[in-house]
Amino acid sequence: MGEEARTRTVHYRIVHLMTGRVRFRVPKLARDPDYAHRLQRLIESAPHVTQVRLKPAAASIAIRYQAQLASEAKVRKHLIRLIQAADVDEGCPSAASSTEAESGNWSELKLPVLATLLALGKEVWRLPIPQSMVAASVAVAGLPVAKRATQSLVRQKKLNIDCLDLIALILSSMQGRWLTPALLLLLHELGDTIRDRTANSSTSRAANLLSSIGHFAWVERNGKQQVPIEEVRVGDTVIVYPGEQIPVDGQILKGAAIIDEQKLTGESIPVVREIGQSVYASTLVRSGEIYIQTERVGNQTRAGASVELIRQAPVYDTRMANYAANIAEVAVLPALFLAGGIWAVTRNPARAVSILTLDFVTGIRVSLPTTFLAALNHAARHGVLIRSGRALEKLAQVDTLVFDKTGTLTQGDLQVVGVKAVTGRMSEMRILELAAAAEQRLTHPLAEAIARYARLQGTRILPRSEWNYELGLGIRAEIDGETVLVGSDRLLKQAGIHLDCFWEDHSYLLEDCQNYPDCPISADASLIYIASQGQFQGTIQYADPLRPESQQVIQTLQDQYGMAVYVLTGDNRKRAFAVASALGIPPTQVCAEAFPEQKAEIVRQLRNSGKTVAFVGDGLNDSVGLAYADVSISFGNASEVARETADVVLMNNDLNGLLDAIAIARETKQVIGQNINLSVIPNLAALLLASTIGLHPLVATVVHNGSAIAAGLNGLRPLLQHHYSN
C-alpha cells in the first residue's frame, strides 16, 4: 500500500489493493478531463477488466478485474502501463477548443444584431439615437459582405451574390433607410452561421487511428524489456503474451497461439498460428505465448496501411451542398442589369434597391441549413448520429448498401446452437455437462460460449481434476471419474477414437448410409466433438448468429427501398454465403475473404459504375471501406476507428436505426424542395411587381425576409416530431 511511482510523466499511487480489485490515485485525473476520458476508455477495453469507477474530483480510479485469468502482478503492471499510455495526446480536439469554435460561429451575429436593434430604435421606436451611430453599426456589420464581394471581383474576376448584397446595402444606405440593410445583414449572417454549425468539422473528428495497435511492446534486447512501439525496429524479436495485442507484422519464431483476427479480417472464429506463420498488428493473442520476428512496423503494417488508406480517401466538402450558390451564379447578372435598367428609366434608386433585395437566394441560404440542423437533431432523438448535412443529403440518394458480415449482420459473438448425441450412448444433457466442466475457466471464445449455454440450460458444472489444454486441438480432462475429450475431430483421431455414425454402428464417412445427408458431422457445420471413456459421444454445434433484426431490415431495404444489398467480409466463403442465403442476398453480391484494401477497391468499383454507395461496418477491417463509400455507417459500440470514420453512427447498436436514418434523409429531401418553392415563388411575384408598377424597398424586404422566415420555419418541422415510424 501507499506505493508511489513516476514513470515517464504521470504520477500515480496505489491506495487500495485486494484480490481482483485495485484503486489508484492519479492527480492528473483531477486537472485534465481529456486524460481522464482517455484513461477510462483504455482501461475499459483492457483484457480481464470487468468494472471501472472513475472519480475525477478525488483523482481516483477503481478497477475490478478477473484475478483467476491472469496473475495479480501482471494485471497491475498492465494497468500502470495504461496510466502512462493515456498521457499520449491522441490528436483529438479538446472540449474547450470545440466550445471556442462554436461560440466563434455565434459571435459573428453580434454586429448585425446590434445594427438591427439600433435601426429599429431609430426608425420604428423613434428613440433619440444619433444617425451616425446607426450608420456606423451598419457599415461595420457590412464589412464581411464588402470583403467577400471584393475578393470575388479581384481574385475570381466575377460577380457573386455578395456583390448584389453590397450594392443593395449601399443604395439603401444612401437613402438613409437603415432598417432594410440591417435586416438583410442579420438574415444573411444567421443563415451562414447555421450552415457553419451544421457543417461537419474535420478537426472535431480527428483521432489517432493507429492507437488501436497499442503503445508498447516487449522486445528481446539484452533480455526482455518493454519499449514504446515507436522504438521497435524491423528485425527485432517481439514477445506477445496472452491477452495482449500484437504490435507488429511478422513471422512466429517460437511458440504457438490462438489469435483473434476479427478486428483486422472480420473472421469471427480465432485461428491457430504456429512457427513460420505470419501474424499481424492489431490482432489479439487469446492464449499462448509467441516470439515474432518483426517484418513491418507502424504505417507499414497491414493495420497501419489501412489507416493510411483512410487518410488518403477522397475528402468531400463537408459544408452541406449550397443550392443557393448555384442559383446565385445564374441570377447575379440578370438582377444587376434589371436593376440598372429600372433605375435608368425611372431615376428611382428605391425601385432598383427593391429588385436587388428580391433575390431567390436568402431564403434558401437560411432554410437549407435550418432544415438540415433540424433533421440531424431529429435523427439524434432516434439514436442515430448523422455527422453532417452532406451525409444526410447523400443518404437520401443511396441506392446500394454494402454490409460487413461479422458484428454487422451477425451478432459478432459465438453461440452454441445445438447439442447432438450418438444414439444409444449418453444423453445430450450429459454431453453438455461434461463439455462445460472441461471448458470451465478457459478464455477461448468457444469455451465461453459453451459455459454461457450451459448456464442458460441450468446445467450443473462438475469439478474438473487433472486436465491438459492442447493449443488448436482442445482439452483432455478427468471429470466425474471419466476421461473426457472436448475439441476438434483431430483431437479425437489422435487419441485413436473413431467418429461413428449418429444412428448406426459404422464410420460417419460411409456414404451409402441412408442417414448420410442428415448426419451432423457429415454436413458442413461448425462443431465441437466430445468423447468419453474412449468413445465418441456427440457434438456441440456453434455459430455466429444473425442479429434478430437483420432479416427484416435487409428485406425492407430490398423490397421497399429498392436497394441493391452486398455482403463484403474478411470471413471465409462458406460462412459468408450461408449468411447471405439466410438473408435473401444473391450469391453474386457476396465477396468473402477480403482484406481492407480489397474492400476499398470493391467500393470504388461500385461507385465508378454510377452507384451511390453506403457501407455499414463495425471494425478496423471495415474502416477503409467506410472511408471510400459515399456514406459510411457504423455502430456506437464499434471500434474507435470505425466510429471516427463513419458519417452515420447507430448509437442504439440496432440495424433498425439504419431504416430510420434513410427515412429521415428522404423526408428531409422533400422538405428542402418545399423550402426552395417557398423562397422562389414569393420573390418571383414581387420581382414582377417591382419591375412593372414598382415596389417600396421596405415591402420588398418584408416579402424577401418573410419568405425566408417561412422557409426556415418549415425546415424546423422535424424538430416538432416526437415520434417517428418507418
How far apart are alpha carbons 13 and 26 in whole angstroms? 7
Average pLDDT score over residue span 428-455? 90
Q: Does residue 179 register a pLDDT over 50? A: yes
Retrieve residue 113's grid coordinates.
444584431
Instruction: Tell me how crowded residue 526 is: count the other CB atoms within 10 A of its CB.
Output: 17
Q: What is the pLDDT of residue 584?
A: 93
Is the Cβ–Cβ distance between 284 and 328 less than 8 Å? no
The 10s digit of each residue's pLDDT in 118-144 is 999 988 898 999 999 999 999 999 998
Q: What is the pLDDT of residue 266?
A: 59
Q: Does residue 501 register a pLDDT over 70? A: no
Q: What global pTM score does this model have?
A: 0.59
Q: What is the pLDDT of residue 620?
A: 65
Q: What is the pLDDT of residue 396?
A: 92
Is the Cβ–Cβ distance between 87 and 10 less than 8 Å? yes
Q: Could you tell me whether strands 384-386 and 648-650 are parallel, antiparallel, or unpaired per DSSP bridges? A: antiparallel
Encoded amino acid at 179, one letter: L
CB within 8 A of 127, min separation 6: which ones?
121
The 10s digit of each residue's pLDDT in 180-205 is 788 778 877 775 665 555 443 333 33
Q: What is the pLDDT of residue 606?
A: 93
How far apart are alpha carbons 576 and 408 in whole angstroms? 12
The 10s digit of each residue's pLDDT in 608-643 is 999 999 999 887 667 777 778 889 898 877 776 677
Q: What is the pLDDT of residue 70?
A: 58
First to last CA, the chain: 58
The kind and range of the H/E element at 255 are: strand 249-260
The 10s digit of each residue's pLDDT in 456-492 is 999 988 999 889 988 778 899 999 889 999 998 889 8
Q: Confidence class of residue 401 from pLDDT cuts 50, 70 and 90? A: very high
How far apart are alpha carbons 660 and 24 in whole angstroms? 43
Q: Does residue 694 register a pLDDT over 50? A: yes
- For the domain 209-311, what is the CATH code? 2.70.150.10
Q: Does residue 299 register a pLDDT over 80? A: no
Instruction: Tell me how crowded residue 85 is: count the other CB atoms within 10 A of its CB.
Output: 19
- For the domain 415-543, what is the CATH code? 3.40.1110.10
Q: Where are the domains of the chain?
A: 3-85, 104-201+319-372+667-720, 209-311, 384-410+547-651, 415-543
3-85: CATH, from 2.40.50.100, 1.20.120.430, 3.40.50.970, 3.30.1360.40? 3.30.1360.40
Q: Does residue 363 register a pLDDT over 60? A: yes
The 10s digit of each residue's pLDDT in 239-281 is 998 878 898 999 999 999 988 877 666 566 788 899 999 898 8
Instruction: Tell me how crowded residue 282 is: count the other CB atoms within 10 A of its CB.
Output: 26
Q: Could you tell me whether strands 400-403 and 613-616 are parallel, antiparallel, or unpaired per DSSP bridges? A: parallel
User: Lowest-confidence range among 336-345, 363-372, 385-394, 533-542?
Assistant: 363-372
Give, in order, the Cα–Cα distances in Å from 546 to each of 62, 303, 411, 570: 36, 27, 6, 17
User: Lowest-confidence range among 21-25, 308-312, 456-460, 478-482?
Assistant: 308-312
Nearest of 545, 488, 561 to residue 521 by alpha carbon: 488
- For the domain 384-410+547-651, what is the CATH code? 3.40.50.1000
How far apart are alpha carbons 302 and 300 in whole angstroms? 7
How far apart are alpha carbons 612 and 624 in whole angstroms? 17
**Average pLDDT value over all residues in the chain:** 78
Q: What is the pLDDT of residue 724?
A: 45
